[in-house]
Amino acid sequence: MTAALHAEWTKLRTLRSTAWLALAIVLATIGVGTARVAAVDTGDCPTPTTCFEDTTALALGGVVLGQAAAVALAVGAVTGEHASGSIVATLAAVPRRGRVLAAKAVVVSAVVLASGLLAVAGSLVAGRLLLPGRGFDAAHGYPPLSPTDGPTLRAAAGTVAYLGVVALLGVGVGALLRDTAAAVTGVLGLLYLFPIVAGLVADARWQDRILAWGPMTAGLAVQATVALDRQPVAPWTGLGVAAAWAAAALAAGAVTFLRRDG
């Protein structure tokens, strides 16, 4: 397994797109999160002390865009070899296909998790610096964002883990479809479809059910730090739902990869 991991890491790090997509995860997540934080102000609330904004979730909300780069990175790591035909050489060097796919999943998720850690840290720093200027300060009952705060730590760690789950989802769908455009479209469609459908449903109970089963809407429940009882799913449960989607995709991808020629 060590040789397979080393080979997959060598292939991934030598791809020009890997560094750019990893950087895109970081910049998109921090950029959108910063814009979201800059758009709120306690002056828009009934009183400065009665705002109901989840400032942690706001700061980390850029992951909704950053995950697209994670999907592209994960899918490309799998489908690129099929497109170029180099998968033949890979399987000649490592005939055990399950080991090849497992190595790809480990290496890709490690890169995405590292990028996610930087993105989340940057988002929290941006929120900590900007929120007091928007009225969200200790004087109004909003302590600075800090990983030493339990709910904030859970939201931050959960967001990094969510990006890792999205990467595994991309690996699974990439192995299943073997086509970059189709796999990226399929994963992004799966992620963004549920909130769109929920917005078209009038019944609040069905809205919550749809949101609770979507990989993105359920997975990002881990970012919530206030009004948890009003969330469609509990934080860690929601992340588990997203992980179940990724596990199903990996299982389907693995079965397909093991049975195909090349």
Task: Give me the long-range contacts of 239-245 (CB less than 8 A, separation at least 24).
Answer: 239/158, 239/161, 239/162, 239/165, 241/212, 241/213, 241/214, 241/215, 242/162, 242/165, 242/166, 242/169, 242/215, 242/216, 242/218, 243/165, 243/219, 245/165, 245/169, 245/190, 245/215
- Per-residue pLDDT of 31-86, as tens digits, reads 999 999 998 887 777 776 677 788 899 999 999 999 999 999 999 999 887 776 67
* 11 band by pLDDT with thresholds 50, 70 and 90: confident
**Predicted TM-score (pTM) of this structure:** 0.92
pLDDT at 219: 95
**What confidence tens digit (pLDDT) does each residue in 130-177 have?**
998 888 888 777 888 988 888 999 999 999 999 999 999 999 999 999
Domain ranges of the chain: 2-259
Whether residue 200 has pLDDT greater than 80? yes
